[in-house]
């Protein structure tokens, strides 16, 4: 069986959850997962992998795309061409993938969210899932692909009992670019990732003047207020309240989304919530595809009705 060369997504010695999407994607492609890992102690389950390849690079060197092109070159010398080099559609994956594709002059498909094994078509969505791009790779050399977080992890399988550990060393390290350090996030007053009940408001809220009434609703329901990106971009709520790919990933028991359309950058941050309730005046809003319960209507009217009931 051919293999998929997985570039692990790692940060500060943490093996990120989104790596499970790489594994699920390998299952769909029908290839064995060989994973590249930097030096360090990463908590991983070996039964997910056919081969675990330790690369003689520290994490910050490993995340450097110029080094990764050489790492992939070394892996190919050792194991032959993979079926594909597979990365997360994360900030590091999105940076490394085009360098690797350019270095080997092979095709690249980014941000794949679905795959049909029969037709061998890769799908990528645009404009908040309103348009779906279809991609096919011609047989021949390998290709590079990044996969969207949350799209494939359900297909990840623990099926390898005979994992092989190997080490490869990379002589060619780049001097052209160096890692300066991680920048700590500012200390947060509220941690939305810990809340059981989130009321999340989107652009549909309309104006900053409406926010206090939602804060009151959240307090009456013992919920925490979060938001989509337009709301934090306008500074109606602080950035620490933002849910999504460039905000926080949350998994509350209840996620009440009000006036949020359901762009994939938002969905990726909340799709694993136990119960999603969406309120939107547009019955065609994509958020309804992900919601367990949906209310088509005006968010402000619902807010005011709930406040009235809760205040007795
Ligand atoms: C690199 C990148 C990273 C991003 N990261 C994030 C991220 O982390 N988080 C994030 O959220 N977005 C992120 N985005 C932005 C994302 O693409 C969307 O633009 C954003 O999620 C849209 O927010 P929204 O749903 O609040 O607004 P809109 O898409 O404008 O939707 C507003 C919704 O409110 C509804 N509405 C209006 N008035 C009412 C009313 N009175 N009652 C009920 N419903 C009403 C409308 O029907 C509409 O569906 C990112 C974009 C990029 C390019």
Question: What digits encode the pLDDT tens for the residues 279-308?
Answer: 999 999 999 999 999 999 999 999 999 999
Q: State which of 250, 261, 295 you would mutate to test the pocket of ligand 1, scoring each by most atoms of that ligand within 8 A of its C-beta.
A: 261
Provide, rounded to the nearest whole percent, the portion of the chain with pLDDT above 70: 98
Flag the least confident range among 73-82, 127-136, 273-282: 127-136
Is the pLDDT confidence value at 125 over 70?
yes
> Is 192-311 CATH 3.40.50.1220?
yes
Q: State which of 129, 204, 298 you would mutate to test the pocket of ligand 1, scoring each by most atoms of that ligand within 8 A of its C-beta.
A: 204
Q: Under CATH, what is the fold of the domain 3-168?
A: Rossmann fold (3.40.50)
Give the mean pLDDT of the chain: 93
pTM above 0.75, yes or no: no
| Nearest residue to 62 via CA among 93, 83, 84, 34 | 93
Do 3-168 and 192-311 come out as alike in CATH topology?
Answer: yes
Is 230 near ligand 1, meaning CB less than 6 Å away? yes
Cα 260 to middle of ligand 1, angstroms: 5
Mean predicted confidence (pLDDT) in 202-221? 97
Instruction: Quickly count: other Cβ atoms within 10 Å of residue 103's Cβ.
Output: 16
Is the pLDDT confidence value at 128 over 70?
no
Q: What's the pLDDT at 141?
A: 86
Is the pLDDT confidence value at 99 over 90?
yes
Provide, rounded to the nearest whole percent, the portion of the chain with pLDDT above 90: 81
Q: Where are the domains of the chain?
A: 3-168, 192-311
Q: What's the pLDDT at 264?
A: 87
């Amino acid at each position: 069986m051919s293999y998929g060369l997985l570039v692990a997504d790692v940060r500060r010695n943490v093996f990120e959850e989104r790596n499970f999407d790489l594994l699920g994607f390998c299952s769909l492609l029908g290839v064995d997962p060989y994973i590249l890992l930097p030096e360090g102690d990463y908590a991983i389950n070996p039964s997910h992998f056919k081969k675990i390849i330790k690369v003689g690079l520290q994490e910050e060197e490993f995340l450097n795309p110029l080094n990764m092109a050489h790492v992939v070159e070394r892996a190919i010398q050792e194991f032959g061409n993979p079926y594909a080099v597979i990365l997360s559609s994360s900030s590091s994956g999105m940076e490394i993938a085009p360098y690797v594709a350019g270095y080997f002059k092979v095709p690249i498909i980014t941000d794949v969210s679905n795959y049909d094994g029969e037709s061998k078509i890769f799908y990528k969505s645009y404009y908040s899932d309103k348009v779906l791009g279809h991609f096919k790779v011609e047989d021949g050399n390998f290709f590079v692909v990044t996969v969207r977080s949350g799209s494939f992890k359900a297909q990840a399988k623990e099926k390898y009992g005979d994992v092989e550990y190997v080490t490869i060393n990379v002589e060619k390290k780049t001097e052209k670019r160096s890692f300066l350090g991680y920048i700590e996030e500012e200390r947060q007053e509220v941690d939305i990732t810990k809340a059981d009940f989130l009321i999340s408001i989107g652009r549909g809220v309309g104006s900053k003047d409406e926010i206090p009434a939602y804060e009151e609703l959240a307090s009456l329901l013992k919920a925490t207020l979060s938001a989509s990106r337009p709301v934090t971009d306008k500074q109606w709520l602080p950035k620490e309240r933002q849910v999504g790919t460039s905000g926080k990933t949350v998994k509350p028991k209840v996620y009440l989304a009000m006036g949020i359309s359901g762009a994939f950058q938002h969905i990726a941050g909340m799709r694993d919530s136990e119960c999603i309730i969406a309120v939107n005046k547009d019955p065609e809003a994509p958020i309804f595809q992900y919601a367990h319960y949906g209310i088509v209507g005006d968010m402000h009217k619902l807010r005011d009705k709930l406040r009235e009931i809760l205040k007795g």
